[in-house]
């Protein structure tokens, strides 16, 4: 499906980009991204873009609007319909039944990924700014399990910070991919990153608690990641049965 030709793009957003940042493709998936400037957000853009406004500071408004613009384009590429996902009571995007999707934003950059549900029943996309060594060490005990902490113990402070940052993002992506399937909240200590392949930019994750009959403790999933300037982007995709 070609890009929309007449879509309104808010002044706060750069032209939409369909670059695929990961080393491995995802059949049927479309990832759309944009840079945004909170100083340029305009209330009128919400109505013009067909996006329900959100309350909050300019940064919150701009990232919400930018994320929905990416989602609308990604949905159009997959379904041919330029719809905007609503926000559910749990604050998660409400996607059409025939697709899976995910939205993320951080530090002036937003993206959305959408794919047919018949191919991918769960998608989790997350971008995080790389933590400084000092902040990474302060947060390590919240983000990493005891086994994960043990595995990164021999690393240099810089590599530790990088792996803590990536683990944070991968676990956020894992939650986004699984939550719509299990409707049960889980947290950083409820999953672990078993391995990271820096050559292929892939990772392996494992659940440490039972989420449902289909997703018991011990279930393993794979993830992808990419480095974007000073940010880390991760993706967990769950194939349809």
Q: What is the pLDDT along the chain (241 residues), one digit of tens a residue?
A: 566 544 678 999 999 999 999 999 999 999 999 999 999 988 888 887 888 878 788 888 899 999 999 999 999 999 999 888 888 777 788 999 999 999 999 999 999 999 999 999 999 999 999 999 999 999 999 999 999 999 999 999 999 999 999 999 999 999 999 999 999 999 999 999 999 999 999 999 999 999 999 999 999 999 999 999 899 999 999 999 8
Residue 91 labelled as part of a binding site: no
Q: Give the rounded distance of the alpha carbon of 202 from its chain centre.
A: 15
Residue 105 labelled as part of a binding site: yes
* pLDDT for res 1: 58
Radius of gyration from C-alpha coordinates of the chain: 18
Residue 68 labelled as part of a binding site: yes
98 close to 117: Cβ distance less than 8 angstroms: yes
Q: Is residue 3 part of a domain?
A: no
Distance CA 124, CA 219 (A): 16
Q: Give the rounded distance of the alpha carbon of 100 from its chain centre.
A: 12
Q: Are residues 104 and 40 in the same domain?
A: yes
Residue 126 labelled as part of a binding site: yes
- Final residue in a domain of this structure, among 94, 118, 142: 118
3-state secondary structure 59-80: HHHHHHHHHHHHHHHHHHHHHC
Q: Are residues 139 and 214 in the same domain?
A: yes
Distance CA 115, CA 98 (A): 9
Q: Are residues 112 and 135 in the same domain?
A: no
Helix (H, G, I), strand (E, B) or coil at 135: helix
Q: Which residues pair with 38 in a beta bridge?
A: none
* pLDDT for res 122: 97
Residue 185 labelled as part of a binding site: no
218 close to 207: Cβ distance less than 8 angstroms: yes
Six-digit token string for 45: 């853009």
* Residue-number span of the structural domain to which 130 is assigned: 126-239
Q: Are residues 200 and 110 in the same domain?
A: no
Residue 172 labelled as part of a binding site: yes
Distance CA 222, CA 241 (A): 16
- The residues, any chain, with a CB within 8 Å of residue 211's CB and separated by 6 or more, are 178, 182, 184, 186
Total tally of structural domains belonging to the chain: 2
């Amino acid at each position: 499906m070609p890009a929309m030709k007449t879509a309104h793009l808010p002044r706060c957003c750069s032209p939409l980009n369909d670059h695929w940042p990961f080393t491995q493709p995802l059949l049927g998936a479309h990832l759309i991204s944009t840079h945004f400037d909170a100083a340029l957000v305009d209330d009128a853009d919400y109505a013009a873009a067909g996006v329900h406004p959100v309350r909050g500071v300019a940064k919150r408004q701009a990232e919400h609007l930018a994320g929905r613009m990416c989602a609308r384009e990604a949905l159009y590429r997959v379904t041919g319909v330029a719809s905007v996902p609503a926000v559910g009571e749990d604050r998660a995007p409400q996607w059409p039944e025939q697709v899976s999707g995910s939205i993320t934003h951080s530090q002036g950059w937003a993206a959305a990924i959408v794919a047919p549900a018949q191919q991918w029943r769960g998608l989790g996309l997350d971008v995080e700014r790389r933590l400084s060594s000092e902040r990474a060490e302060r947060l390590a005990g919240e983000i990493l399990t005891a086994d994960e902490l043990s595995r990164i113990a021999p690393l240099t402070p810089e590599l530790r910070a990088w792996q803590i940052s990536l683990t944070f993002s991968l676990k956020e992506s894992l939650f986004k991919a699984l939550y719509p399937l299990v409707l049960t909240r889980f947290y950083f200590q409820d999953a672990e990153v078993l391995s990271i392949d820096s050559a292929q930019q892939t990772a392996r994750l494992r659940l440490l608690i039972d989420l449902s009959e289909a997703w018991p403790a011990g279930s393993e999933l794979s993830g992808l990641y990419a480095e974007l300037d000073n940010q880390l982007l991760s993706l967990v995709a769950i194939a349809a049965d």
